[in-house]
Chains A and B, each alone.
Chain A
Amino acid sequence: MTRIDSYRAMFKRAKASPGFWTEAAVLQFVRGLRRIMQSEPKFSQKELADAMKVSEAYVSDVLRGRRQNFSLAQMNKLAGHLDAKVDVHVSRRDVVVLWTEKRPEDVAGEAIETVRDSTSDPAFQEPMRLAEALTAAETLKPLNFDKFVSRRVASC
């Protein structure tokens, strides 16, 4: 066995360990917390500690990935103080998961577009019926509605 083979075997061993994936998940959680804290409105470690009624050292340890045994409830409690939430995704170990954040209204607009593009129902292909669908979608008050309408109308 060459040196490279032994390194490969080491990571193979790591990937078989639940603790390895727990550490990876903790890092993902820490990254999310830091990102939320640095985006507007910003939160300092002290503000988060005060809100949670814990010591600043505890928050510092969390943000440095020094605490591993979180329950989902504890994670959501921490995130909740930042007006954030925890999402969970389960995947095969050999895939890379990329998260995308979207506002609900953007998802609604895209859903209508997907239906229109994928369906063979002529109703969705007719400009007038499409306009009705768009009006229905408007009740969802999408932030990008104007952009969405202009794109759809241009394509009709």
Chain B
Amino acid sequence: MRLVRIRRVGFDVLAVHEDGETQVLEKLNEIWSSHYRLWEAASAALYVDVPQQGPTGAVTVRRLYEPLWEFIFGRRPGVGFRVVWFYGSSPQKIVCSNAFVKGERASTPDEMLTTASRHHELYQADLARNRIRITDMEIGELYDTH
């Protein structure tokens, strides 16, 4: 499994990189032109607040079901931006699986949860086999171990 490190300070915020792209960051990039304030809020959380202070305490977090969690960005009324994530090998590792733009009354798409569950299983399997590779977005280096 390949992960992209968004930022590591006290906490390590990672995102799943699959099929040549990091879906969470692709989605984030997409909302730059359409929902600029949402983009600022989600970027600030993923790049500043969560790496420094952790996932709980400021950003709205919802427990989906074991082991999945969701970051909720957005103001009422309007669309929201959601990021499905799970804890990595320690509580300091936050692995973002996928993200989606959510309409005001829409529910979390099942396919997002299915994908996140698959990513979690893959993560656990590759963790055991020491096959997780990380690309640090800041310095671009590849790490073979997690």
Same complex origin of A and B: yes
Binding site for B on A (CB under 8 A): 3-4, 6-8, 10-11, 13-15, 17, 19-24, 27-28, 30-31, 34-35, 61, 64-68, 96
Report whether B29 and A6 are in contact in the complex, using a CB–CB cutoff of 8 Å. Answer: yes
Report whether B138 and A8 are in contact in the complex, using a CB–CB cutoff of 8 Å. Answer: yes
B58 contacts the other chain (CB 8 A): yes
Give the CA-CA distance A67 to B75 in the complex, in Å: 8
Binding site for A on B (CB under 8 A): 4, 6, 9, 20-22, 25-26, 28-29, 32, 36-37, 39-41, 43-45, 47-49, 52-53, 57-60, 72, 74-76, 135, 137-138, 140
| Interfacial chain A residues near B48, Cβ < 8 Å | 20, 24, 27
Closest residue of chain B to A3, judged by CB?
A: B21
Report whether B40 and A34 are in contact in the complex, using a CB–CB cutoff of 8 Å. Answer: no
Report whether B29 and A28 are in contact in the complex, using a CB–CB cutoff of 8 Å. Answer: no
Report whether A23 and B32 are in contact in the complex, using a CB–CB cutoff of 8 Å. Answer: no
Report whether B47 and A27 are in contact in the complex, using a CB–CB cutoff of 8 Å. Answer: no
> Per a CB cutoff under 8 Å, which of A8, A14, A35, A96 touches B44?
A14
Closest residue of chain A to B75, judged by CB?
A: A66
Give the CA-CA distance A35 to B49 in the complex, in Å: 15
| Interfacial chain A residues near B29, Cβ < 8 Å | 6-7, 10
Given the known interface contacts A3-B22, A7-B4, A7-B137, the answer about A66 and B43 at a Cβ–Cβ threshold of 8 Å is no
Main SS at interface, chain A? helix
Report whether B52 and A96 are in contact in the complex, using a CB–CB cutoff of 8 Å. Answer: yes
Closest residue of chain A to B9, judged by CB?
A: A96
| Interfacial chain B residues near A4, Cβ < 8 Å | 4, 22, 135, 137, 140
**Nearest 7 A/B pairs, CB to CB:** A23-B44, A31-B58, A24-B48, A24-B44, A14-B43, A27-B49, A27-B58
Give the CA-CA distance A61 to B78 in the complex, in Å: 14
Report whether A14 and B47 are in contact in the complex, using a CB–CB cutoff of 8 Å. Answer: yes
| Interfacial chain A residues near B22, Cβ < 8 Å | 3-4, 7
Closest residue of chain A to B46, judged by CB?
A: A11
Given the known interface contacts A7-B29, A11-B137, A96-B52, the answer about A30 and B58 at a Cβ–Cβ threshold of 8 Å is yes
Report whether B58 and A28 are in contact in the complex, using a CB–CB cutoff of 8 Å. Answer: yes
Report whether B60 and A65 are in contact in the complex, using a CB–CB cutoff of 8 Å. Answer: yes
| Interfacial chain B residues near A27, Cβ < 8 Å | 44-45, 48-49, 58-59
| Interfacial chain B residues near A19, Cβ < 8 Å | 36-37, 40
Closest residue of chain A to B32, judged by CB?
A: A10
Report whether B40 and A7 are in contact in the complex, using a CB–CB cutoff of 8 Å. Answer: no
Give the CA-CA distance A31 to B76 in the complex, in Å: 20
| Interfacial chain A residues near B140, Cβ < 8 Å | 4, 8
Interface centre among B20, B49, B60 (most CB of A within 10 A): B49
| Interfacial chain B residues near A15, Cβ < 8 Å | 47
Give the CA-CA distance A64 to B61 in the complex, in Å: 9
> Per a CB cutoff under 8 Å, which of B20, B40, B59 touches A14?
B40
